[in-house]
Amino acid sequence: MNIINSLTQSISRALKELYAIEQAPDGIVLQDTRREFSGDYTLVVFPYVKQARKSPEAVAAEIGAYVQSNLDLVSGYNVIKGFLNFEVADSYWLQFVAGGAADTSFGLKSTDPEAAPVVVEYSSPNTNKPLHLGHIRNNLLGWSVSQLLAAAGANVKKVNLVNDRGIHICKSMLAWLRYGNGETPESTGIKGDHLVGKYYVEFDKHYKAEVKQLMESGVEEEQAKKDAPLMVEAQQMLKHWEDGDPEVRALWERMNGWVYAGFDETYRRLGVGFDKVYYESNTYLLGKELVQKGLDMGVLFRKDDGSVWCDLTADGLDQKLLLRRDGTSVYMTQDLGTALLRHNDFGAERLIYVVGNEQDYHFKVLKLILGKLGFSWADKVYHLSYGMVELPNGKMKSREGTVVDADDLIDEMEQTAAEMSREHGKNDELSADEQQHLYHILALGALKYFILKVDPTKNMLFNPAESIDFNGNTGPFIQYTHARIRSIVRKAEEGRATLDFSKISLNDKERAVVKILHALPATIQAAAEAYSPAMVANYAYDLAKAYNSFYQDTPILREEDAVTKEFRVALCQFVANALKNTMNILGIEVPERM
């Protein structure tokens, strides 16, 4: 039995027998003992003092004595005021290592493929620009949360909703018609998504010039933005698209095809993927049907200009537009349709949307409208809201061309990884192909870890130079630790035998590593409940740091006692498996050698 369960059950019995206090084991909270005190787990006894009618010190001492006399796994205890610190017997930790060292899936729960799935939507790009640094955080977070939920036993389905229609897409299309001179990815050598993004920027440049010219002629700014010829034409193009105009549709399919090819390449390099891809061009029509349903139910209303709205003022919000006056849809329209389609496709337990915190209002509205339309599963919609990524020089703006392209960033990271590896002599024994693979996984490890170690709810400042370092709280530090351990295990493989560890006495560095390993299942479960890969990332760092402290101070292959040596090699193997599993949750590959 897990020591935590054993302790809480024994404490529960102690409370009942000593003080007639009924306390279920699952209501007893144990904390890790603070480093400055002796012990492994701490019980705060203050909640029980009043009923026990004794001082905190007396209650702690009596519970400690009871548990130690009734539980062989506890070797001792000490009391600091109202804090009872339990010391776990070495025999428990040694048995734990003996049983877990060879378990390559330790900490991971199996998934029931028949269980109602948790559907995680992430990426959700627009087909008018390439993926950039903001998309990278979205993709890495969505992928890692999916891995994390699966590690905790959920049946996860990863989905992508491509925003492939709308006014933004028409802007790129119109600019290409106006200024592109027929150029293509093949004729220019430019990656398709980058080429289309070039014309999104081009539209903005010419549009601003038109707005400026109108304002100089005396038109107010807001009116000038509406009346600028390019914007009027883009709105007309969107209307033609929704009406099925064959020429507009043909251009749309052609340019989107360029973008999809570019996206697929970037996804491959990032190491992310999806079980199913939805397209807004398919889901917005279902959304329009729901709008009509809402009108028929009286949940929605039509204004005099023909636009359709939902009045949410009674819910503390405002009125929300669902259809423009010309009948074209907005993002909310297609999100209603997508939610229904996804629910029907999967019968999902939860519908998780990984979307930045600037869309908090949008998802409040989505849940409210779904509920008003009579869908009982509206409460299953969960917005995993995350903070923005900023650079040292400020925010990025796609339409102004001030973004960091994902492809360019990956290239830069790989180059830096190569330079750092050569500088530290990490690749001297590898072939040219092995070196290139190493540079790639180090680059992606640095990028992913730097982003995922930050709590998702927080904004973050991304500094590429700080992310690639073989020391400190970085991906490469953990990757190098894994490679070092695998080297030790390979050297120890000859002549290994199963030995009895029961007579070993753990030193402080060994105990520290074992205790962190022991916490892995609980860490994964807590991280899954919080949708926080950061908890897993920081666990991996703590484990790698504790292991390196053990490695520096404790002989392993040079240990003369055969049983002790075998135990330490088993401990190394256990750590390697745990690092591999936790880094896999983050989407990070760990090398076997460096």
Give the model's pLDDT for residue 389: 84
Q: Tokens 């539209």 correspond to what residue?
A: 203
Considering 42, 73, 88, which residue would you say is the last residue of a domain?
88
Report how far residue 361's alpha carbon sits from residue 359's, in angstroms, rounded to the nearest whole number: 5
Radius of gyration of the chain (CA): 29
- Residue 35 forms part of a structural domain: yes
Question: Phi and psi (nearest 5°) for 19?
Answer: -130, 5
Report how far residue 353's alpha carbon sits from residue 122's, in angstroms, rounded to the nearest whole number: 7
Give the model's pLDDT for residue 497: 58
Is 171 found in the same domain as 43?
no
DSSP 3-state of 482: helix
Is 549 found in the same domain as 417?
yes
This model's pTM is above 0.85: yes
Q: Which amino acid is at 560?
A: E
530: tokens are 């919080």
Q: How far is CA 496 from CA 35, 69, 499, 563, 575, in A?
A: 35, 38, 9, 10, 18
- Residue 305 forms part of a structural domain: no
252: tokens are 């749309």
For range 553-582, the mean pLDDT: 94
* Helices 475-492 and 533-553, axial angle in degrees (round to 10): 50
Is 77 found in the same domain as 169?
no
531, 525 contact by CB (below 8 A): no
Report how far residue 81's alpha carbon sits from residue 102's, in angstroms, rounded to the nearest whole number: 41
Report how far residue 372's alpha carbon sits from residue 375's, in angstroms, rounded to the nearest whole number: 7
**Of the candidates 520, 556, 537, the residue with the CA atom closest to the CA atom of residue 4:** 520
Confidence of residue 498 (pLDDT cuts 50, 70, 90): low
**Of the candidates 271, 260, 269, the residue with the CA atom closest to the CA atom of residue 191:** 260
Is 424 found in the same domain as 519?
yes
Give the model's pLDDT for residue 400: 46
585: tokens are 């949750």
- Residue 135 forms part of a structural domain: no
For range 560-570, the mean pLDDT: 92
Beta strands 350-356 and 74-80, pairing class:
unpaired
Considering 88, 123, 142, which residue would you say is the last residue of a domain?
88
- Residue 398 forms part of a structural domain: no
Q: Give how many domains the chain has, as a whole number.
A: 3
* Element of type H or E holding 182: none
For range 505-510, the mean pLDDT: 94
Q: Tens digits of per-residue pLDDT, 88-132? A: 999 999 999 998 998 999 999 999 888 999 999 999 999 999 998
Q: Tens digits of per-residue pLDDT, 52-100? A: 999 999 999 999 999 999 999 999 999 999 999 999 999 999 999 998 9
Is 168 found in the same domain as 45?
no
Q: Determine the distance from the C-alpha atom of residue 203 to the mean position of all C-alpha atoms in its chain, rounded to a whole number.
A: 34
Confidence of residue 37 (pLDDT cuts 50, 70, 90): very high
Beta-carbon contacts of 216 under 8 Å, excluding residues fewer than 6 positions away, are none
Is 163 found in the same domain as 78?
no
247: tokens are 């020429």
- Residue 290 forms part of a structural domain: no
Beta strands 350-356 and 381-386, pairing class:
parallel
Average pLDDT of the chain? 92
- Residue 75 forms part of a structural domain: yes
Is 186 found in the same domain as 54?
no
Give the model's pLDDT for residue 301: 96
Considering 226, 243, 273, which residue would you say is the last residue of a domain?
273
Report how far residue 192's alpha carbon sits from residue 194's, in angstroms, rounded to the nearest whole number: 5
Give the model's pLDDT for residue 426: 63
- Residue 206 forms part of a structural domain: yes
Is 83 found in the same domain as 163?
no
Whether residue 576 is predicted with pLDDT greater than 90 in this model: the reply is yes
Range of weakest confidence among 258-262, 453-457, 501-505: 501-505
Beta-carbon contacts of 253 under 8 Å, excluding residues fewer than 6 positions away, are none
Q: How many CA atoms lie within 13 A of 377 on its CB side?
A: 14
What does DSSP assign to residue 108?
Answer: P
378, 370 contact by CB (below 8 A): yes
Is 261 found in the same domain as 164?
yes
Whether residue 518 is predicted with pLDDT greater than 60 in this model: the reply is yes
Beta-carbon contacts of 462 under 8 Å, excluding residues fewer than 6 positions away, are 133, 389, 390, 391, 450, 451
Is 166 found in the same domain as 248?
yes
Q: Tens digits of per-residue pLDDT, 471-493? A: 789 999 999 999 999 999 999 87
Is 556 found in the same domain as 410?
yes
More confident residue, 41 or 496: 41
- Residue 248 forms part of a structural domain: yes
Please enumerate, as own/partner, the contacts of 488-494 that have beta carbons within 8 Å and a separation of 24 or more: 488/556, 488/557, 488/569, 488/572, 489/569, 489/572, 489/573, 489/576, 491/557, 492/556, 492/557, 492/565, 492/569, 492/572
Q: Tokens 């819910």 correspond to what residue?
A: 315
72, 25 contact by CB (below 8 A): no
Residues in the chain, overall count = 594
Report how far residue 8's alpha carbon sits from residue 29's, in angstroms, rounded to the nearest whole number: 8
**Of the candidates 564, 543, 544, 541, the residue with the CA atom closest to the CA atom of residue 554:** 564
Q: Tens digits of per-residue pLDDT, 443-473? A: 999 999 999 999 999 998 887 777 777 778 9
Residue 39 belongs to domain with CATH number: 3.30.1360.70
Is 555 found in the same domain as 432?
yes
Q: Which domain, by its residues, includes 425?
A: 406-585
Residue 426 belongs to domain with CATH number: 1.10.730.10
Q: Tens digits of per-residue pLDDT, 142-200? A: 999 999 999 999 999 999 999 998 899 999 999 999 999 999 999 999 999 999 999 99
